Amino acid sequence: MKLKNWNKLGFLFVLALLIMFHSSCGWKTTEFTLTVVVGEGISGVPESGTYVYQEFEEIEYKYEAEGDIIQPEIYVNNYRKLILEGTLVMYCDTILTVEQIDIRKEWNMIFSEQDIDDVEWEITFSGPDLRFGTFSDNRGYTGIWEVSGDNDLTIRYDDWADYVFTGTLSALGGNWEGEGKSGSWYIYLDS
């Protein structure tokens, strides 16, 4: 019996020490800042602003386009996410940016055809808005691009036979056809 009492007393003593330590020096919980920037024409949660969360706290997010705009894309600390709804776990200060996909910049394009090595070139999209414009590549070829609906992308060369690239903004890639051949393609930004 005496041993049981000592075990209880030892447990209570350790518990009391832990409580005193926690109240005097404290176990500090780490807090991280979530900065949210939501672009025009996009609704969802969390809304634009700055929030403070505890370490490992899970934050639900969900965004969608309002009206007739291009599908949104989400960047978490400058890394593109393909899912418009999900959960973030706070383990560092985080910037969540939600904006319409805008391809008007310089990209690297990978062109794939069955049984042939991939070919890569630079392609620059420009235009008056997010829905259409012109492009040129570093090989000297040019053409037009267009977004239909909220996500469908068509790239049509003016001066490279009859090559047409179709795909989606969310995938930043798709399929191509030209000169009786076909294959796949995708674009990516240099880091």
Is 82 a domain residue? yes
Question: How many angstroms separate the CA atoms of 163 and 146, rounded?
Answer: 15
| Helical residues (DSSP H) of 49-185, grouped into ranges | none
Mean pLDDT, range 150-154, rounded to an integer: 92
Is 38 a domain residue? yes
Mean pLDDT, range 130-146, rounded to an integer: 95
Indicate if 115 and 172 belong to the same structural domain. Answer: yes
Number of domains the chain is built from:
2
Q: What's the pLDDT tens digit per position in 174-184? A: 999 998 899 99
Q: What's the pLDDT tens digit per position in 14-58? A: 666 556 555 444 456 799 999 999 998 899 999 999 999 999 999
**Which of 100, 117, 144 lies at the terminal end of a domain, its last residue?**
100
Indicate if 112 and 94 belong to the same structural domain. Answer: no
Is 17 a domain residue? no
Cβ-in-10-Å burial (0-12, 13-18, 19+) of 183 comes to middle
Indicate if 39 and 92 belong to the same structural domain. Answer: yes
- The end-to-end CA distance of the chain, in Å, is 69
Indicate if 46 and 87 belong to the same structural domain. Answer: yes
Residue with the bigger pLDDT between 68 and 43: it is 43
Is 25 a domain residue? no
**Which of 78, 100, 122 lies at the terminal end of a domain, its last residue?**
100
Task: pLDDT band for 10, please (50, 70, 90 cuts).
Answer: low
DSSP-assigned letter for residue 28: P
pTM: 0.70
Q: What is the 3-state secondary structure (H, E, C) of 90-112?
A: CCCCEEEEEEECCCCCEEEEEEE
Indicate if 178 and 120 belong to the same structural domain. Answer: yes
Indicate if 37 and 83 belong to the same structural domain. Answer: yes
Cβ-in-10-Å burial (0-12, 13-18, 19+) of 153 comes to buried
Q: What's the pLDDT tens digit per position in 74-131? A: 999 988 887 889 999 999 999 999 998 899 999 999 999 988 889 999 999 999 998 9
Cα 109–Cα 65–Cα 146 angle in degrees, nearest 5: 40
70 in Cβ contact with 131 (< 8 Å): yes
List the domain range (segments joined by +) for residue 155.
106-188
Is 15 a domain residue? no
Indicate if 114 and 151 belong to the same structural domain. Answer: yes
Indicate if 131 and 93 belong to the same structural domain. Answer: no
Indicate if 75 and 146 belong to the same structural domain. Answer: no
Indicate if 89 and 53 belong to the same structural domain. Answer: yes
Indicate if 184 and 130 belong to the same structural domain. Answer: yes
Is 2 a domain residue? no
- Beta-strand pair 106-113/94-100: unpaired
Q: What's the pLDDT tens digit per position in 155-165? A: 999 988 789 99
**Which of 70, 100, 130 lies at the terminal end of a domain, its last residue?**
100
